[in-house]
């Protein structure tokens, strides 16, 4: 609900627009040549800035004349009069530039808002400008020195810039976390947890069926646990994401992620463990001398196109590691089958390079690190979420379609073939039984069934297998009548 001053501001702007449209009055500006030459000595930019300020003053004076009439002339039906001027400001290129604004009052001593000043005052989105500059790496301390275009501009102090950024980043985070997902058709959902400044940040990224990548949401937690991930997925559900659709889930390998996905998408969900994380976990158990040979074997196995050949190569490596380092072998064996899901689904090689790992999210977080490198102190509250959300939005602007996006239809066909058939549904809702079936006719015995204890609602198709007296008996058994 808008506040009274917002309503008055909107009304003043509409009155100005109507005034400009009615007769289209001309506004002429006359500038002394000597003054213009003086501005030009400081550059063309200074001429444009100073001329713009004078043009703004001229426009406000013209609006006052339309409201009040010519100065020093009697008007019998005067409804408002001039009331001096006071200091104000306009927003130009992310700076608050002081200007003098004329005042107008009605004969009833009520202040009249000027539509022209309200438009100047509103100007460019100041918080948006601050957000964009800080995302480019400008610090709050040097913000004023970098963008000051008017010597008399204010609002460029570190504290003011910080407040504008907090407002802008909080609004952008809110938009990202509350964006509806009903219309999104995803072929893959990538989830990865990344340590960031002492906290675990879990991010979800969706790949649409046209190959476009979108940041869906983030969650902050002390550790990568099932509760944090489940809350993130639950939030996606509440925003409209359908987990019953066939989709590939690419995870970083943590058991918490896998458990949370199966909770929402079912035990039969197609889960691809990140091959990069698996390679990293296995190599962490080995000495520097052992790592090159094992890494070469892992890379060769995952590069194989055929599922059977890749699994055989990993099994051979697993047996070798049992003699070399049992801990590394156990690390390889844990979830090994899920690292080959893209092989089992016959995902084409080009598309497989993207879907075999969570590198897309890690690449986005590398941009987050770049954006946040000038933040020296991290506090509680939503500071981490705001900065990470802002960094991910910057990364999203640089996203391109995934490599091999034209092969996504082949992936969808494999996922649909893998998905279990949806069972027929029988429900009771407020005494109304809904039964989905596939028989076009209903027997006379069932239609004439005298017992009226319940009502039957037929959803598109009629009851299957219930025909005649035997069908009525079956119905009695089904509903315990």
> What is the C-alpha to C-alpha distance for residues 226 and 264, in angstroms, rounded to an integer?
12
CB atoms within 10 A of CB 67: 20
Query: What predicted TM-score, i.e. pTM, was given to this entire model?
Result: 0.70
pLDDT in tens, 170-197: 999 999 999 999 999 999 999 988 888 8
CA distances from 90 to 16, 99, 129, 168, 454 (A): 17, 7, 14, 19, 70
Decide: 463 and 471 in contact? Cβ < 8 Å.
yes
pLDDT digits (tens, 9 = 90+) for 119-157: 887 756 678 888 888 888 888 888 777 777 666 666 677
User: Of 371, 406, 411, 375, which is closest to residue 390 (Cα–Cα)?
Assistant: 371
Which string of DSSP letters, residue by residue, matches 387-439? HHHHHHHHHHHT--PPTTGGGHHHHHHHHHHHSPPPPP-EEEETTEEEE---B
Which of 237-267 are b and which e, b meaning 16 or more Cβ less than 10 Å from the residue's Cβ? eebebebeebbbbbbbbbebbbebbebbbee
Q: Which of 213, 211, 212 is nearest to 203 (CA)?
A: 213
- pLDDT exceeding 70 applies to what percent of the chain? 83
* pLDDT at residue 6 greater than cutoff 80: no
> Which residue reads 């509680």 in tokens?
380
Summarised one tens digit per residue, pLDDT across range 61-75 is: 888 888 888 887 777
Q: Under 8 Å CB-to-CB from 249, ≥6 apart: which residues?
A: 188, 189, 190, 191, 261, 265, 269, 270, 271, 272
The lowest-confidence range among 94-98, 182-186, 402-406, 414-418 is 94-98
Q: Which of 202, 188, 210 is nearest to 392 (CA)?
A: 202
pLDDT greater than 80 at residue 280: yes
pLDDT band at 274 (very low <50, low <70, confident <90, very high): very high
């Amino acid at each position: 609900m808008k506040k009274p001053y917002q309503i008055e501001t909107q009304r003043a702007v509409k009155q100005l627009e109507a005034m400009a449209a009615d007769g289209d009055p001309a506004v002429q500006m006359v500038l002394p040549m000597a003054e213009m030459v003086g501005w030009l000595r400081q550059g063309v930019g200074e001429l444009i800035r100073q001329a713009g300020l004078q043009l703004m003053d001229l426009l406000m004076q013209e609006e006052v004349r339309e409201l009040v009439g010519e100065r020093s002339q009697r008007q019998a039906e005067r409804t408002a009069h001039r009331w001096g001027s006071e200091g104000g400001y306009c927003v130009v290129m992310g700076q608050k530039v002081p200007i003098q604004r004329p005042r107008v009052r009605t004969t009833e001593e009520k202040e009249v808002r000027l539509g022209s000043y309200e438009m100047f005052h509103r100007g460019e989105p100041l918080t948006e400008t601050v957000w964009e500059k800080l995302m480019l790496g400008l610090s709050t301390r040097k913000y004023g020195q970098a963008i000051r275009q008017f010597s008399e501009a204010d609002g460029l102090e570190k504290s003011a810039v910080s407040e504008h950024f907090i407002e802008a980043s909080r609004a952008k985070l809110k938009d990202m976390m509350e964006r509806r997902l009903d219309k999104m058709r995803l072929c893959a959902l990538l989830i990865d947890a990344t340590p960031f400044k002492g906290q675990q940040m879990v991010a979800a990224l969706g790949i649409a069926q046209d190959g476009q990548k979108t940041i869906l949401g983030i969650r902050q937690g002390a550790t990568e646990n099932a509760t944090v991930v489940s809350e993130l997925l639950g939030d996606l559900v509440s925003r409209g994401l359908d987990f019953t659709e066939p989709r590939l889930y690419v995870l970083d390998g943590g058991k918490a992620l896998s458990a949370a996905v199966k909770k929402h998408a079912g035990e039969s969900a197609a889960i691809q463990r990140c091959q990069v994380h698996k390679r990293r976990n296995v190599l962490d158990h080995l000495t520097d001398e052992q790592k090159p040979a094992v890494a070469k074997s892992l890379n060769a196995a995952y590069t194989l196109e055929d599922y059977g050949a890749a699994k055989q190569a990993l099994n051979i490596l697993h047996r070798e590691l049992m003699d070399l380092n049992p801990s590394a072998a156990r690390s390889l064996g844990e979830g090994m089958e899920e690292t080959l899901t893209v092989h089992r689904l016959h995902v084409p090689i080009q598309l497989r390079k993207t879907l075999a790992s969570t590198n897309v999210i890690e690449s986005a977080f590398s941009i987050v690190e770049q954006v946040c490198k000038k933040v020296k102190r991290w506090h509680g509250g939503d500071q981490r979420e705001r900065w990470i959300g802002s960094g991910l939005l910057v990364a999203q602007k640089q996203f391109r379609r995934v490599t091999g996006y034209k092969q996504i239809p082949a992936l969808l066909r494999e996922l649909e073939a893998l998905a279990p058939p949806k069972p027929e549904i029988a429900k009771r809702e407020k005494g109304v039984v809904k039964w989905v079936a596939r028989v076009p006719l209903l027997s006379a015995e069932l239609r004439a069934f005298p017992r009226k204890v319940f009502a039957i609602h037929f959803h598109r198709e009629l009851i299957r297998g219930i025909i005649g007296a035997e069908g009525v008996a079956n119905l009695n058994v089904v509903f315990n009548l």
